[in-house]
Each structure stands twice: as C-alpha cells, then as structure tokens.
Amino acid sequence: MIDGKSYIIYPFKRCIWQGTAGNLFLVRGEGYDDFTPLFTTSLNTKPETAVMKYKERTAIEQTNKELKSYLGIEGNYFRTKKSNYGYIFILCLVYNFIQYVRLYLTDKSFKEVFEELSFYLLCKEPPKCVSQLEKELESIFGNVGSEGSNKIKTWLERTMNISGAVIAE
C-alpha cells in the first residue's frame, strides 16, 4: 500500500536498461491494466520509493506541460542556445509569478489568472504597435457620428462590392 492504494510490483534487480545498470520495477496500480516500467540507477532503492518518486515526477511533468502550453515555449526557435535559455528563464519567471498570485486567488485556475494578467498588462502598457494602429484607425473613425460625410461608410462602399441581394447556399 502506497498512499492508500495497492500496487502490484515486480522488481528486477541489477539489470541493464538502454545501456545503463540499475533496478527495474514493473508496477501496476489499482484500475490499470498494463504495467508501467520504472527504472532507477540507485541499486538500493525500495520499490515503494520508486513509485513515490514516479508520482512526484508525474505532477512535475504535468506542471511543465501546462507551462509549455499556456506560455508557448514549444514554439520558440531562437538560433542560439543562450537566447533560448533567456527565453525559457523569462517564461519560467512569469510562470512562477502567476503561481504566486494564484495563492491569493484560490478560486481561479492558472489559465484564468494568466489571461486576466495579460489583459491588465495590455490595458496598462499597450505595445507600441497599438498606438500606430490607433493613428490609422483615427483617420477612418475620425468623424463617426458627425453630420458630415461618414468616412467609414464611404471607405466600406469603396472597398467592398455590396450587392442588393443575399444568396444563401
């Protein structure tokens, strides 16, 4: 019994797994049909310890998958190793900050906190490209609601060929 669950464990002492010597444990927990191979290079490891470390590792890997998914680590293709490390460092810093904020916002998931923080930062300090876009849109939306010619309507009529009939297929 490990953490209140029973496991079937077959130990293979001092075996070679992919060119490395260690202990191999085949483990099957409650509700599982297949055995999971757990390999450790520590020759004195007890089967219970190997299972506990595997369970801890699973939680860490799940956290890493969350991190990669939400923060977009998988899509980075920097040319140098140093810039990759810097990128991952910044993302991990953001991840740890969000996890810290979640301590005080217990009813929110990681994704919700991340999205709300992103929205807050975009409102507080928008990127420079937003101000450039704002200038472009100002020329289009400049006199909306005025009695003069409506620039939006004029622009839309010029750029879109609007027909009088709508055909549904």
Per-residue pLDDT reduced to its tens digit, 24-70: 888 887 777 788 887 887 778 787 888 788 777 777 777 777 777 77
Per-residue pLDDT reduced to its tens digit, 79-92: 666 666 777 777 78
Please count the other Cβ atoms lying within 10 Å of the Cβ belonging to residue 58.
Answer: 10
What pLDDT does 165 receive? 47
Q: Element (H or E) spanning 24, and its range? A: strand 20-29
What pLDDT does 168 receive? 45
Q: State both tokens at 6.
A: 């029973």
What pLDDT does 74 receive? 62
* Residue 150 clears pLDDT 60, i.e. is over it: no
Q: Please name the residues in contact with 95: beta carbons below 8 A apart, sequence gap of 6 or more.
A: 67, 71
93: left (phi > 0), else alpha (psi -120 to 50), else beta?
alpha
In this prediction, residues 100-125 reach a mean pLDDT of: 83
Tally of residues, the chain: 169
Distance CA 137, CA 150 (A): 14
Lowest-pLDDT range of 16-20, 78-82, 132-136:
78-82
pLDDT category at 73 given cuts 50, 70, 90 is: low
Distance CA 148, CA 141 (A): 13
Which has the closest alpha carbon to 23: 15, 31, 35? Answer: 15
Say what percent of the chain tops pLDDT 90. Answer: 0
Give residue limits of the domains in the chain.
7-70, 85-124, 128-159
Q: State both tokens at 138.
A: 């100002």
Helical axes 110-124 vs 47-71, angle rounded to 10°: 30
* Residue 169 clears pLDDT 50, i.e. is over it: no
Q: In this structure, are residues 141 and 151 in contact, taking their beta carbons and an 8 Å threshold?
A: yes
Q: Looking at residue 32, what DSSP letter applies?
A: -
What pLDDT does 79 receive? 63
